[in-house]
Structure 1
Amino acid sequence: MSQNIYDSIGFFESYSKYPRMEKGLAGASEWPLLETMLPSSLVSKTVLDLGCGDGWFSRWALDQGAKAVCAMDVSQNMLSRARALSPPDRYPAITFRQVDMETLEGQDGGLDPEANDVAFSGLALHYLVNLEAALRQVFRSLRPGGLFVFSVEHPIFTAPQRPGFQKSGAVQDWPLSSYFAEGEREVDWLGTPVRKQHRTISSYLKTLRTVGFEVVVVDEWGLNMGVEVRDLFGLRTL
């Protein structure tokens, strides 16, 4: 099962103060680049939102004309917040489900085959141990020609065994180590031990191709000369 840190009351209260929780879409700095990878129109499309958090992408998709959105998250706290922010009278076509992305395969009521036109996941897949199994299920859930857009924490940040910035004068450096040693990393975030899975960029690409995706776009978004960087992917089924 995925580590469910967001259902820890103390962690959730601290995380709720983050800009992307307080501001939603406007607080996700990487969003403008991610948006360029999505279809120019979502009108009448069926959308899957994996690791939906408080539902900001699901609401945006409906506002863009999507026919229906299935929003999944492992955290009951996140889903409760998402439902509160997505009143049924305004967002009747969002279905929220508590689902562990680590065990999508074989789960009751899992991803139906060829049910979605677009799948989206924001900063969630780097927590999964069995990434390939999850990606197979996403691929299976997309109709031919469907699109999968996702972001992950950049491997330069997940690589170090002991991550952290080092300041040299007015410059902050991020020492990179253990890049090719893939596997689990544990970091302290908001006073909580958090487990992430480090993978190289080439490993992500190989896994995507293995399950059947055609990689259309790979981009890297950065802020303040690399202080914050994410990998961004746009993919489609054949």
Structure 2
Amino acid sequence: MSQNIYDSIPFFESYSKYPRMEKGLAGASEWPLLETMLPSSLVSKTVLDLGCGDGWFSRWALDQGAKAVCAMDVSRNMLSRARSLSPPDRYSAITFHQVDIEVLDGPGGLDPEEETYDVAFSGLALHYLVNIEAALRQVFRSLRPGGLFVFSVEHPIFTAPQRPGFSKKTGAASQDWPLSSYFAEGEREVDWLGAPVRKQHRTISRYLKTLRTVGFEVVVVDEWGVSDEDSRKHPDWPNDGGIPRFLLISAMKRVQ
């Protein structure tokens, strides 16, 4: 089962102060790049949102004309927040489900025999999964032929070190990120917001190979990091020495 750190009250209260929670879509720094990887139109599409958090993507998809959105998350706290932000008079076509997305073929999960969705999306959730191949296989089966899966994860350069942390040389304007253990895939435990959080480090090639193994055709691979322009527009964003923070991938279920 995936770690459910967001149902820890102290952790959730701390996380609720993050821009992603306070600003929704506007607080997701990588969103403008992710948006370009999605279909140009979601009108009448059925959408799957894996690790939906407070539901920001689900609401956006419905606002873009999607017919229905199935939103899944393991956290009761996140789903409660998502429902409170999604008034039924406007977002009745979103259904929220408490599901461990690592076990999508379990109770309340996906029907592995049914090609239900046109688009699947996951924002910064898959790097928590131990058995990502099983989850991707279920996503693949749930998509209609021609369906698109778009997701983001923490960049493998960011998840690789066993003891992650920035370092700064005396007099330097930016910080460095010492890279180590890149090819040593597996669990990493980091202290975040005062709690031990478990993540799974995978190389970029592992993500791509696993997608192809389950049947996907990789369409776009991109990376997001704070650029000089971003630093000028958002002086509150940390100057991190130009390392990539997020890996963004889109993959298609080909029409046979």
| TM-score, normalised by the number of residues in structure 1 | 0.98
Give the equivalent residue in structure 2 for 1:36.
Answer: 36
Distance 1:14 1:22 in 2: 11
Contact between 2:99 and 2:108, CA under 8 Å: does it hold in 1? Answer: no
Shift of 1:130: 0.2
Q: State whether structure 2 residue 177 is matched by structure 1 residue 161.
A: no
**How large is the Cα RMSD of the aligned pairs?**
0.9
Distance 2:64 2:23 in 1: 19
Shift of 1:108: 2.4
The structure with more strand, counted as a fraction of residues: 1
* One-letter amino acid matched to 1:10: P
Shift of 1:37: 0.4
Q: State whether structure 2 residue 182 is matched by structure 1 residue 179.
A: yes
SS in 2 for 1:235: strand
* One-letter amino acid matched to 1:229: R
Gaps of 5+ in 2: 228-240
Distance 1:104 1:41 in 2: 27
SS in 2 for 1:25: helix
Distance 1:152 1:39 in 2: 19
Give the equivalent residue in structure 2 for 1:230.
Answer: 246
Q: State whether structure 2 residue 15 is matched by structure 1 residue 19.
A: no
Runs of 4+ in 1 over 4 A off after TM superposition: none
| 1:172-194 Cα distance to aligned partner (Å, 9 max, x none) | 00000000000000000000000
Contact between 2:190 and 2:197, CA under 8 Å: does it hold in 1? Answer: yes
Distance 1:226 1:163 in 2: 16
Shift of 1:103: 1.3
SS in 1 for 2:89: coil
Q: State whether structure 2 residue 206 is matched by structure 1 residue 203.
A: yes
* One-letter amino acid matched to 1:161: Q
| TM-score, normalised by the number of residues in structure 2 | 0.91
* One-letter amino acid matched to 2:61: A
Give the equivalent residue in structure 1 for 2:147.
Answer: 146
Q: Which residues in structure 2 correspond to 1:100-139 (within 5 Å)?
A: 100-105=100-105, 107-112=106-111, 113-139=114-140
* One-letter amino acid matched to 2:108: G
Q: State whether structure 2 residue 96 is matched by structure 1 residue 96.
A: yes
Distance 2:44 2:100 in 1: 27
Distance 1:231 1:129 in 2: 18
Shift of 1:109: 3.2
SS in 2 for 1:65: coil
Distance 1:235 1:59 in 2: 22
Shift of 1:209: 0.2
Shift of 1:228: 5.4
SS in 2 for 1:231: strand
Contact between 2:157 and 2:244, CA under 8 Å: does it hold in 1? Answer: no
Indicate which of 213, 217, 225 corresponds to 1:214: 217
| 1:90-141 Cα distance to aligned partner (Å, 9 max, x none) | 1010000000011113x12321321000000000000000000000000000
Distance 2:244 2:14 in 1: 20
* Paired-residue identity, %: 86
Distance 2:107 2:102 in 1: 14
Contact between 2:19 and 2:28, CA under 8 Å: does it hold in 1? Answer: yes
Distance 2:108 2:75 in 1: 17
* One-letter amino acid matched to 2:14: S
Give the equivalent residue in structure 1 for 2:232.
Answer: none
Shift of 1:229: 1.5
SS in 1 for 2:88: coil
